[in-house]
């Protein structure tokens, strides 16, 4: 893939800059202040490098891009699957066919804007890879996104400017199509399926639910075809109990919290300082003590320091985006989490490892109680 | 620092205010009220003071001009009661602390790199905000 | 609905007319080296000087010290550690420090009466008060001019310095250059007697001539 294409692909994914720059540094690539300067520096280095070094640089950028597609800014859902089904899938994995599509031919590159506008809204299996224990399926689809744009009066002719000048700010909402890379991981060791929805953080929760269902339906059909038996996914693992466990642990740094109190209020707290935890913040502690610690937490976000090497680290974040009505409903379930600020599969797995740990802890607490 | 020395330090600070502004001036009172407020609160709880929170702290007794005059003085080298910090708050209300080097570069280039996205921000001067923490003298007065 | 004032960099500009020096508030906090410290200080001094020059009639009977103290007080209001008569080799007219660093800027103030008198001030600045070492290799001459035609006086002062340099038995290698911020000011740079390093002096006039011709 040409350098400019790779750089455009990375830039258009709106990856948090600290994550992007850490990735570049890890691979020994030259960076500068922000995208413009970094792109200029990478191009300059590339142009003055030997063909061999150019190839190395392209390989590094490709590797970064592929890791980003698999792990960056995802919303995730987890399912338990019968181990027989999983075995059957792996035994018959050769039945898996990637249908022809513009997504498949251009993968991992983005398809052109014209092709994206023309293509339908279906999900397309685009690529897959497998080991003896893990299969990773990559699906592409077109989704509509909204972009908020500041409109400057000076862009328009005088008559329009005269009208717009009455307003202190004019915002436009622009719809445009975006290519999404959703990931499904089928794990033989855990007999589980994980679905990672692309751009999870920026999709409203209703749209996230609809997108997950779309993938789930397609996945059911796909697996049914492979194993030649009808397959239905069980409901996703309920992640709501993790919220309380995480809050009451001393793991991670809580940066966002939403809860209700028995005194009748709903609170939403965010810690703006990047090195401090809401659990230990004076205002939160004081409020919690005033109600004897009886807080019903329904939404929580935590970050951890993930060390890559002695010079580099990331701060991946886990958000459990519950809503207040989940505290009052009996049939409630929090089906997905949002995992962000990951530079690679390593820190992504670190976060899912944390999630698994809390789920196992809850299971063992429940079995102790019974 | 024992109580007697703390009081001595505070008295010296008040004397400085008097020498620089004159005891009858509004500026003297503004500086005294801000300093007294900061001395009365635990330093560990003063991690993010805005112009708004300082105005509340002095019970809105003073105009914006009086507050800015006092804040500029109190952030100076002579009587470091306040320490100045910069932050950028984006359209999604996410805040990012900015290091001095980022502001220096932005002033040189005329544009700021968004710490979250890595893209340039237009009109950054409207979006870079200032906040404060207790300066060295307040910390000394607490120890 | 009343909107709470946001303290942005833009706000500093908006209030800079009402709060002297506020336009430079952020820049003062961002200073990271001696050159930067002196540069911002000159911006602030220029601001104070231009304010004084707006009302020369108020200063027509003031002594050298009175005008200097006015400038010092305004620098203190901006948060500078600025003093008058602090002893460094002698009693300096203007001393600006930047604790805890060892940066110093010293200013010598003179009401212009003659060029030898100004030169006496220059010698005090460059041989008595300043050491000319790395963090103290810049200073200023503040020249309070009550006569007409400040430009002419400053040109003659510059020529005087150049002539003295050429005639000196021990050359001090003085060169002058224009000031980009103010066409009435200029810089001189010479080899400091004590340190042997280059020492830069900014010569800053205060235009205090006041002789209105509209007697009515």
Contacts of C21 in chain B (CB under 8 A): 72
Which of A180, A197, A227 is the last residue in one of the domains? A227
Nearest to A42, CA basis, from A26, A20, A22, A24: A24
Which of A42, A71, A100 is the last residue in one of the domains? A71
**Residue C15 CB-half CA count within 13 A:** 21
The dihedral sign for the CA sequence A356, A357, A358, A363: positive
Confirm whether A235 is domain-assigned: no
**Residue A338, H or E segment:** strand A336-340
Q: Name the pLDDT band for C4 (thresholds 50, 70, 90).
A: low
Question: Cβ separation of C29 and B84 shorter than 8 Å?
Answer: yes
3-state secondary structure at position C118: helix
Q: Could you read off the pLDDT of A83-98 as tens digits, one per residue? A: 999 999 999 998 888 9
Question: Cβ separation of C25 and B72 shorter than 8 Å?
Answer: yes
Contacts of B49 in chain A (CB under 8 A): none
Whether A42 has a pLDDT exceeding 90, the answer reads: yes
Residues in chain B: 143
pLDDT at B1: 64
DSSP letter for B44, please: G
Whole-number mean pLDDT of chain A? Answer: 92
Q: Are residues A14 and A92 in the same domain?
A: no
Residue A94 domain boundaries? 74-227
ω into residue A256 within 30 of 0, thus cis?
A: no
Question: Cβ separation of B51 and C5 shorter than 8 Å?
Answer: yes
Scan for tokens 């698999």, then name that residue. A70
Whether B71 has a pLDDT exceeding 90, the answer reads: yes
Whether C2 has a pLDDT exceeding 50, the answer reads: no
Domains identified in chain A, total number: 3
- Report the neighbours of A using a cutoff of 3 or more CB pairs below 8 angstroms: B
Confirm whether C3 is domain-assigned: no
Which of A199, A227, A255 is the last residue in one of the domains? A227
pLDDT at C130: 81
Torsion-angle region of residue B47: left (phi > 0), alpha (psi -120 to 50) or beta? alpha
Scan for tokens 């609905």, then name that residue. C1
Q: Are residues A12 and A78 in the same domain?
A: no
> Quick one: tokens of B55?
């105005």
Contacts of C81 in chain B (CB under 8 A): 76-78
Q: State the complex-level ipTM.
A: 0.92
Interhelix angle for A83-91 vs A205-227, to 10°? 60
Q: Name the pLDDT band for A152 (thresholds 50, 70, 90).
A: confident
The Cα of B41 is separated from the nearest Cα of chain C by a number of Å equal to 23
- Report the neighbours of B using a cutoff of 3 or more CB pairs below 8 angstroms: A, C
Mean pLDDT within B84-96: 90
Question: Cβ separation of B114 and A34 shorter than 8 Å?
Answer: yes
Residues in chain A: 370
Nearest to B120 among A16, A18, A34 (CB): A34
DSSP letter for C91, please: B
Q: Are residues A346 and A275 in the same domain?
A: yes
Tell me how far CA of residue A27 lies from CA of A4, A31, A63, A97, in angstroms: 18, 11, 9, 34
The Cα of A14 is separated from the nearest Cα of chain B by a number of Å equal to 6
Q: Are residues A125 and A43 in the same domain?
A: no
> What secondary structure, in 3-state letters, does A159-199 show?
HHHHHHCCCCCCEEEEEEEEEEEEEEEEECCCCEEEEEEEC
Residue C104 domain boundaries? 9-207
Tell me how far CA of residue C98 lies from CA of A100, C105, C108, in angstroms: 70, 9, 18
Confirm whether C4 is domain-assigned: no
Q: Could you read off the pLDDT of A266-293 as tens digits, one per residue? A: 999 999 888 899 999 999 999 999 999 9
pLDDT at B137: 93
The DSSP bridge partners found for residue A124 are A140
Whether A49 has a pLDDT exceeding 90, the answer reads: yes
Is A242 in contact with A362 (CB distance < 8 Å)?
A: yes
Domains identified in chain C, total number: 1
Confirm whether A234 is domain-assigned: no
Nearest to C46, CA basis, from C23, C14, C13, C12: C23
Nearest to A103, CA basis, from A27, A181, A155, A34: A181
Q: Are residues A152 and A258 in the same domain?
A: no
Whether A114 has a pLDDT exceeding 50, the answer reads: yes
Q: Could you read off the pLDDT of A318-363 as tens digits, one per residue? A: 999 999 988 887 778 999 999 999 999 999 999 999 999 999 988 8
Is C139 in contact with C118 (CB distance < 8 Å)?
A: no
In angstroms, what is the C-alpha Rg of chain C?
18
In terms of Cβ atoms closer than 10 Å to its own Cβ (0-12, 13-18, 19+), residue A134 is middle
The Cα of C169 is separated from the nearest Cα of chain B by a number of Å equal to 42
Question: Cβ separation of C79 and B65 shorter than 8 Å?
Answer: no
Contacts of C32 in chain B (CB under 8 A): 100, 104
**Residue B137, H or E segment:** helix B136-142
Q: Are residues A78 and A206 in the same domain?
A: yes
Q: Could you read off the pLDDT of B17-53 as tens digits, one per residue? A: 999 999 999 999 999 999 999 999 999 889 999 999 9
Q: Are residues A14 and A90 in the same domain?
A: no
Question: Cβ separation of B118 and A34 shorter than 8 Å?
Answer: yes
Nearest to B77 among C13, C73, C98 (CB): C98
């Amino acid at each position: 893939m040409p350098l400019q294409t790779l750089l455009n692909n990375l830039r258009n994914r709106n990856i948090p800059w600290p994550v992007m720059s850490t990735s570049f540094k890890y691979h020994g690539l030259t960076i500068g202040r922000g995208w413009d300067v970094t792109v200029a520096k990478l191009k300059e280095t590339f142009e003055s490098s030997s063909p061999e070094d150019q190839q190395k640089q392209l390989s590094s950028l490709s590797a970064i891009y592929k890791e980003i597609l698999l792990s960056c800014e995802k919303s995730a859902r987890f399912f338990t699957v019968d181990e027989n089904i999983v075995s059957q899938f792996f035994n018959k994995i050769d039945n898996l066919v990637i249908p022809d599509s513009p997504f498949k031919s251009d993968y991992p590159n983005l398809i052109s804007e014209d092709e994206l506008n023309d293509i339908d809204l279906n999900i397309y299996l685009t690529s897959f890879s497998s080991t003896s224990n893990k299969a990773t399926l990559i699906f592409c689809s077109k989704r509509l996104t909204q972009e908020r744009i500041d409109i400057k009066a000076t862009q328009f002719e005088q008559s329009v400017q005269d009208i717009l000048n009455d307003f202190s700010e004019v915002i436009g909402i622009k719809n445009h199509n975006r290519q999404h890379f959703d990931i499904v991981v089928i794990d033989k060791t855990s007999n589980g399926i994980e679905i990672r929805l692309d751009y999870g953080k920026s999709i409203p929760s209703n749209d996230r639910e609809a997108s997950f269902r779309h993938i789930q339906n397609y996945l059911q059909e796909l697996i049914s075809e492979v194993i030649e038996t009808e397959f239905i996914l069980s409901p996703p693992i309920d992640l709501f109990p993790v919220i309380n466990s995480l809050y009451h642990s001393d793991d991670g740094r809580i940066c966002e919290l939403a809860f209700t109190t028995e005194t009748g209020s709903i609170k939403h707290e965010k810690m703006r300082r990047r090195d401090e935890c809401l659990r230990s913040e004076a205002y939160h502690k004081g409020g919690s003590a005033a109600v004897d610690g009886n807080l019903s937490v329904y939404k929580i976000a935590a970050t951890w320091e993930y060390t890559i090497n002695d010079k580099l680290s990331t701060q991946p974040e886990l958000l459990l985006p519950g809503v207040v009505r989940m505290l009052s409903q009996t049939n409630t379930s929090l089906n997905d989490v949002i995992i962000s600020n990951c530079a690679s599969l390593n820190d992504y797995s670190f976060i899912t490892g944390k999630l698994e740990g809390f789920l196992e802890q809850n299971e063992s607490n429940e079995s102790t109680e019974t | 620092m024992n109580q007697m020395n703390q009081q001595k330090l505070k008295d010296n600070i008040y004397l400085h205010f008097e020498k620089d502004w004159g005891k009858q001036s509004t500026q003297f009172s503004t500086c005294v009220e801000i300093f007294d407020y900061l001395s009365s609160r635990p330093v560990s709880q003063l991690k993010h003071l805005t112009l708004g929170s300082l105005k509340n702290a002095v019970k809105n007794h003073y105009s914006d001009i009086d507050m800015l005059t006092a804040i500029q003085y109190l952030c100076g080298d002579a009587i470091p009661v306040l320490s100045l910090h910069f932050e950028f708050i984006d359209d999604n209300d996410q805040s990012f602390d900015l290091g001095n080097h980022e502001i220096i570069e932005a002033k040189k280039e005329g544009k700021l790199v968004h710490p979250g996205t890595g893209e340039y921000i237009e009109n950054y001067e409207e979006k870079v905000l200032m906040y404060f923490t207790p300066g060295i003298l307040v910390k000394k007065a607490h120890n | 609905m009343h909107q709470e004032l946001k303290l942005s960099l833009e706000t500093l500009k908006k209030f800079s007319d009402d709060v002297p020096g506020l336009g430079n508030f952020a820049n003062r906090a961002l200073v990271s080296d001696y050159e930067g410290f002196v540069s911002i200080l000159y911006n602030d001094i220029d601001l104070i000087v231009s304010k004084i020059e707006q009302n020369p009639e108020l200063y027509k009977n003031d002594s050298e010290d009175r005008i200097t103290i006015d400038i010092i007080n305004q620098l203190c209001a901006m948060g500078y550690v600025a003093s008058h008569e602090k002893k460094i080799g002698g009693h300096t007219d203007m001393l600006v420090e930047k604790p805890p660093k060892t940066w110093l800027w010293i200013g010598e103030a003179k009401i212009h009466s003659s060029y030898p008198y100004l030169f006496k001030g220059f010698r005090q600045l460059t041989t008595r008060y300043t050491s000319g070492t790395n963090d103290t290799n810049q200073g200023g001459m503040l020249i309070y001019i009550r006569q007409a035609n400040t430009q002419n006086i400053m040109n003659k002062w510059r020529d005087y310095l150049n002539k003295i340099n050429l005639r000196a038995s021990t050359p001090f290698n003085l060169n002058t250059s224009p000031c980009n911020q103010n066409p009435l000011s200029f810089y001189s740079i010479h080899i400091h007697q004590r340190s042997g390093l280059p020492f830069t002096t900014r010569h800053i006039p205060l235009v205090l001539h006041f002789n209105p011709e509209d007697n009515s």
